[in-house]
Amino acid sequence: PVSLKPDRSNGRLIVVSNRVPVPTASGAPAAGGLAVALQSALRSKGGIWFGWSGKASQEADREPQLRTLGSISFAVCDLTRRDIEEYYHGFANQALWPICHYRLDLARLSERDAAGYFRVNEFFARRLAKMLRPDDVIWIHDYHFIPMAAFLRQLGVQNRIGYFHHIPWPSPDTASAMPHYDRILRSFSSYDVVGFQTEPDADNFRDCLIESGAGRAVDGNWCEAYGRKFQVDAFPISIDAEAFALEARLAERNTLVKRMRASLEGRAMIIGVDRLDYSKGIKHRIEAFGAFLERYPEAAKARVTMLQITPKSRSEVPEYANIQNEVAEEVGHLNGKLGDIDWTPLRYINKTMSQSALAGLYRMARVGLVTPLRDGMNLVAKEYVAAQSPDDPGVLVLSQFAGAARELKSALIVNPYDIGATAAAIARAIEMPLEERQDRWRDMMATLRDNSIDHWTANCLQAISGESEADLEGSLH
Ligand code: G6P
């Protein structure tokens, strides 16, 4: 019998993101869990990963540079200095990022940046359109590229296009501070599927469509706006917990991990790992660690050292330069006040570390502090849990404002603005009996096993390629 279902699953996959993990000359794969998962999806379907090269160049030579490895092509374009300033440092990181993280006080609203953002999106859309085949499925990632599908549609692209928003989506009163809010909202209606990290994010987005008068919710997870019907859903991103657990076990032999263990001289370790970003709550966390040391001197002094690994990020943006200085000052202040000749309570490092070293350090840490003021998901929380040894697991202290808190309910959930409560949670984590640690860990690990990154990729792709819709149509006929 001839199937009446439209078969959209044979097309290639086209992934679009601002950063593209182009393999190095030696062909070494990108390390991060998301990059690995997307590459495995690309490998099985064949396809292209398209985006910015991370470099600046002159107007003339900005056609995509291609590098093909097996069934995957990496295609990246340079941008001009002005593009980078307006689109990346400007609109993406000084308007959309702070607004999506509820920091209207840090948002810079500039017409020039907004124009650059839309211009660069159109620039990328034109180059991508030339590479497309009719049955390709396109998956666009993150806030840099919200208007990409609208430009592709203008160019006549009729393929299935999905978007995933990796960061929070705020409620309408906050979101409406976005410059060109109406145009941004309208841009979403060019997608077939719009994915968010959590239900509250997806709800906020639907509320934005409704409150602005642009659209309405229909049939559960569907929205109708600007004359188009599209799916709006939560797809909480995850990790490959088994693979990460294995990496952590193997990393016990990592030299850096051994050096760290030796240097602790029997003290318990508390770990924090974050990009240097104001959304991560690093200053509040250091204050809370200081409060813990002062309020619980017996538990603290002889027995604890904190390691905060914080690679610098987006340093050209003034708010990032400011937070770098503020955190460094806070660290110096704490160590000066509370340290001793043979004890530095807080070790602070701006280096990036390999995934293997991080996995080993997480496993060694008695407490993982993941206390962002706002975060889409936060995969450090999930990785910390996966890295623990079942026999002697550490305790996750997790902000209620991280998307991960909706899933990792057996963590010690804290309000990161409440310094005293966070200090008390650190003390509780340090003192927690083995049995309670194991119960909490088992519960969280089961959650991670149920929703792996492969599961996430498959769910997103099924929605974007329209397979579930096709099933529905099939069942109605
Ligand atoms: C967040 C964003 C990503 C971004 C990453 C690093 O996780 O969701 O889209 O790539 O930060 O930031 P950067 O500006 O260095 O790409």
For ligand 1, what atom is nearest to the CA of residue 93?
14
Q: How far is the CA of 475 from the centre of ligand 1 (A)?
A: 41
CA dihedral defined by 316, 320, 325, 331, rounded to 10 degrees?
Answer: -140
Q: How far is the CA of 251 from the centre of ligand 1 (A)?
A: 26
Query: What pLDDT, on the 0 to 100 scale, is given for residue 29?
Result: 58
Average pLDDT value for the chain:
93
**How large a percentage of the chain has pLDDT more than 70?**
94
| Segment 461-474, tens digit of pLDDT | 999 999 866 555 54
Average pLDDT over residues 416-444: 97
Report the distance separating Cα 135 and Cα 112, nearest Å.
36
Average pLDDT over residues 259-283: 97
| Segment 382-405, tens digit of pLDDT | 999 999 999 999 999 999 999 999
Where does ligand 1 bind, in terms of residues with CB under 6 Å?
A: 19, 142, 166-167, 313-314
Phi, psi of 40 (to 5 degrees): -70, -35
Query: What pLDDT, on the 0 to 100 scale, is given for residue 433?
Result: 97
Residue burial 434-461, b: 16+ Cβ < 10 Å; e: rest: eeebbebbeebbebbeebbbeebbebbb
For ligand 1, what atom is nearest to the CA of residue 143?
9
The dihedral through the CA atoms of 214, 230, 406, 277 has a sign that is negative
Closest residue by CA, ligand 1 atom 4? 19
pLDDT(477) > 50: no
| Segment 117-139, tens digit of pLDDT | 999 999 999 999 999 999 999 99
For ligand 1, what atom is nearest to the CA of residue 166?
8
Q: How far is the CA of 18 from the centre of ligand 1 (A)?
A: 8
pLDDT(28) > 90: no
> Binning pLDDT at 50, 70 and 90, where does residue 114 land?
very high
Query: What pLDDT, on the 0 to 100 scale, is given for residue 5?
Result: 41
Report the distance separating Cα 138 and Cα 129, nearest Å.
11
Q: How far is the CA of 449 from the centre of ligand 1 (A)?
A: 25
Catalytic site residues? 166, 375
